[in-house]
Amino acid sequence: MRTAVAIVGGGPSGLLLSQLLHRAGIGSVVLERRSRDYVLGRIRAGVLEDGTQALLRRAGVGERMDREGLVHDGFSLAHGGGTHRIDLAALTGRSVMVYGQTEVTKDLYAARDAMGGTVLHGVEDVALHDLTGDAPSVTFRHEGADRRLACDFVAGCDGFHGPTRQSIPAPERREFERVYPFGWLGILSETAPVDHELIYATHGDGFALCSMRNPRLSRYYIQCRADENPDDWPDARFWDALRARLPAALAEALETGPSIEKSVAPLRSYVCETMRHGRLFLAGDAAHIVPPTGAKGLNLAAADIHYLSEALIAWYGTGDAAPLDGYAARALRRIWKTERFSWWMTSILHDFPDRSPFERRMQRAELDYLTQSSAAMTALAENYVGLPY
């Protein structure tokens, strides 16, 4: 087999890159370890920056998003027994959209199918070869046969645990990490959201988030131990803990019901600054992880794909290698700003078990200042709706 760009990873990053390249007349093959049903069964966040929305429209997959997505002009911070709304539209002139990552992936699959894109599932034993030469290739096992895919470039869109980043020699990888001493216990329930916008709550018992997928499907999270077992949390225990972390009026209005999914997500900040190795380019979770507090995971991956697709289109269109050479530096400038915002949101909203009384007072003062300063709220809003590409 031969293609222009071998894309390892069939999640939204890999599918979006394949779609953008196809529309520019550039061939690709997507290799995915899991089945399509597994990929579509993953529950992920769904707050889209306006830049991500525009990129999906440019890729030709924005029609259903624009029809079914929920436009949010703000969100609320709950602390000290009350709530304060951050008016995104008034502060920035922009908004975000709630549209689940699963729905984005469905739309991308539909588009790749309609255009005859090649997406191989159940791929095993992926190995990358000759990345620093002019003729890289990817070998893998698919449907019981060993196969080889020759290509011009390899895009690593295979997530934190995938093989592409590991193909870069360890001495050449520049990695930075912060592991947080807690996780998020999340449930999905067929109940009406407690509010029409997201609510981020801080409390002495820990953080909580009230979110939604649609008007009858709610997503709720509470801070928990990183090693918490979801089986130890029957629904009644979860609802009681969530109510305790919300202001009284919201706790009283909360509609409860059986959970249809329950899981614990660990929190970490991670960046691999080595996003290029010869003809290999990393994007998305293969290169960086953000805690979910700022709703930036999918959005940051989409920004990488914006930069990488532009660079590949320039190379194939005019032979200009400068955008490819500058890809990592360009992406990393935005990555580190987004990492900063996600780290900051996590720091001011969560209970850190090792914080001193002084540090807890500083956390409270930060929240008080944030909700009383228009400048501070504007900085928060600008980051939340998304930094420009």
Domains, the chain, ranges and CATH?
5-71+92-177+268-345 (3.50.50.60), 181-267+352-385 (3.30.9.10)
- What does pLDDT average to over the chain? 97
- Residue 229: enclosing H or E segment and its boundaries? none
- pLDDT bucket at 41, cuts 50 / 70 / 90: confident
Are the C-beta atoms of residues 259 and 235 closer than 8 Å to each other? yes
Q: What are phi and psi of 284, to 5 degrees?
A: 70, -145
Average pLDDT over residues 266-275: 98
Distance CA 47, CA 25 (A): 30
Q: Tokens at residue 258, please?
A: 């059986």
Confirm if 121 and 105 have CB atoms less than 8 A apart. Answer: no
Alpha carbon distance 294, 292 (integer Å): 6
State the pLDDT at residue 260: 95
Place of tokens 């997959």: 61
How far is residue 106's CA from residue 98's CA, in Å, rounded to a whole number?
15
Instruction: State residue 366 phi and psi, 5-degree precision.
Output: -60, -45
Which token pair is 180?
């947080």
What pLDDT, on a 0 to 100 scale, did the predictor assign at position 44? Answer: 75
Coil, strand or helix: which one is 91? helix
Q: How many CA atoms lie within 13 A of 18 on its CB side?
A: 32
- Describe the crossing of helices 50-58 and 12-23 by its angle, rounded to 10 degrees: 50
Residues 6+ apart with CB under 8 A from 170: none
- What pLDDT does 35 receive? 95
Mean pLDDT of 7-17: 97
The 10s digit of each residue's pLDDT in 83-141 is 999 999 999 999 999 999 999 999 999 999 999 999 999 999 999 999 999 999 999 99
Mean pLDDT to the nearest integer, 128-155: 97
What residues are annotated to the active site? Answer: 72, 200, 292, 296, 384
Q: What share of the chain is helix, strand, coil (3-state, %, to 5)?
A: 40, 30, 30
Count CB neighbours of 108 within 10 A: 26
The model carries a pTM of 0.96
313-350 pLDDT, tens digit per residue, is 999 999 999 999 999 999 999 999 999 999 999 999 99
